[in-house]
Amino acid sequence: MMNARGWRLLSAAACAVALFLTGCGDDSPTNGNEEPEYDGPIAEFMGWENSGVGEEQEFTEEERQQHYQVQDLIVTCMSEAGFEYTPEPFYGDREDAFEDPYAEVWQLQEEDPEAFAQEYGYGFTTLDFGEEVVETSDPADDPNFAYRESLSTAAQEEYDIALYGDFEAIEEQAGEEGEVEVAEPGGCSNDAYEQVYGGGDGEASEEQFSELFEEWDALYQRIENDPRMDTATQAWLGCMTDAGYADLEDIYGGQNEVSERQSELYGWDDEEGLLPVPIEGEAEGEGESAEATAAPTEPVEPEPAALEELRQFERDIAVADYTCRQEHDIDGVERDVRYEHEEQFIEANREQLEAYRDWSNEQGTRG
């Protein structure tokens, strides 16, 4: 499995120029019979091929055994603390707890990006995220939910500290000592993971690769600044001007224009576009000041007609964006440039990349 840093860097490579409409994979659209993939030199070197977001995750028997080693240790530890604990099933055996209401939309984006642009633009204003998410799991599915609920409030607090550690005490200690290193929170779960997978915080351990990451970030700057990319970008900008969208600054211009108009419409960048939300329990005018009772804030809902106008603008510019990318083979140019620079990067940083690959794989087995 890949850790978050790996995904960020991989995405930067795959999407350096070919953005939302064209996906982050091969230089040709999928035909519906093939899975989109990222197949660059770095992906091959790191073992990230076909590791696309949304694909079914495969787990090894070693990962399965490690999971149950952790669970057995937690059972013993919690018993010694005076609590019951039922092992949680291996995450590779669980049914998906999330049903994506936009699965068909993403499928359309992969299989027919032009049709996606015609219907959804970039997906910024045309898709209302967050309101149609379907949760198919229930807290009661947790094998320890019923037992914890049967405890008194005080016992539940003790149970949580025993299982997860005393984070409140750590926060208090950190506040008292400033930046001085403080103790780990402890807890049966943390101790079990450390015993099976080894100690060390993932983010802190990542610091050993800071120089590699700097070089990695610079790699994608070199890709974007390659003269071949500049030529392709200028051709795209000219095409977009001919389509009626002048004054775009770079290959991201279409999306940026939609994003800016969306922010303006919703008042995200304008304090006047935010309505005060009274703090619960405080009557208007009470408290130290009116400002104290007027936070936090929430965005104003735009007029339906104005929103629909923006959505149509998004669809129109996204279609032009896609057409110009295809006309000037932006993806093909980007692919050639990226492959060349990535191969050079591997040769210059092979030893550090191998070390990072091993570390990243180790972190992945920890979930």
Long-range contacts formed by 6-13: CB under 8 A, 24+ apart: 6/46, 6/48, 6/360, 7/53, 9/213, 9/216, 10/38, 10/42, 10/43, 10/46, 10/48, 10/51, 12/217, 12/220, 13/38, 13/40, 13/42, 13/43, 13/219, 13/220, 13/223, 13/338, 13/342
Backbone angles phi, psi at 183, to 5 degrees: -70, 160
pLDDT for 10 equals 44
Q: What does the block give as tokens for 341?
A: 């620079």
CA angle 72, 77, 78 (to 5 degrees): 100
- Strand 274-276 vs strand 134-135: parallel, antiparallel, or unpaired? unpaired
pLDDT value for 292: 43
Taking only the tens of pLDDT, the chain with its 367 residues reads 444 344 344 444 434 333 334 444 443 333 333 333 457 999 999 887 654 444 555 678 888 899 999 999 999 999 999 999 999 988 777 765 556 788 899 899 999 999 999 999 999 999 987 544 444 455 667 899 999 999 999 999 999 999 998 877 666 655 555 544 545 668 999 999 889 887 555 454 677 898 999 999 999 899 989 999 999 999 999 999 999 999 999 889 999 999 999 999 988 865 444 444 444 444 444 444 444 444 445 557 889 999 999 999 999 999 999 999 999 999 899 999 999 999 999 999 999 999 998 887 776 544 4
Angstrom distance (rounded) from CA 142 to CA 138: 8
What one-character DSSP code corresponds to residue 137?
Answer: -
| Sequence letter at residue 334 | E
The whole-angstrom separation of Cα 23 and Cα 336 is 16
DSSP string across 268-299: TT-GGGEEE-PPTT--TT-SS-TGGGS-SEEE
Threshold 0.85, pTM exceeds: no
- Please report the pLDDT score of residue 38 as a whole number: 57
Distance CA 304, CA 301 (A): 9
What's the confidence (pLDDT) of residue 281?
46
Neighbours of 163 (CB within 10 A): 20
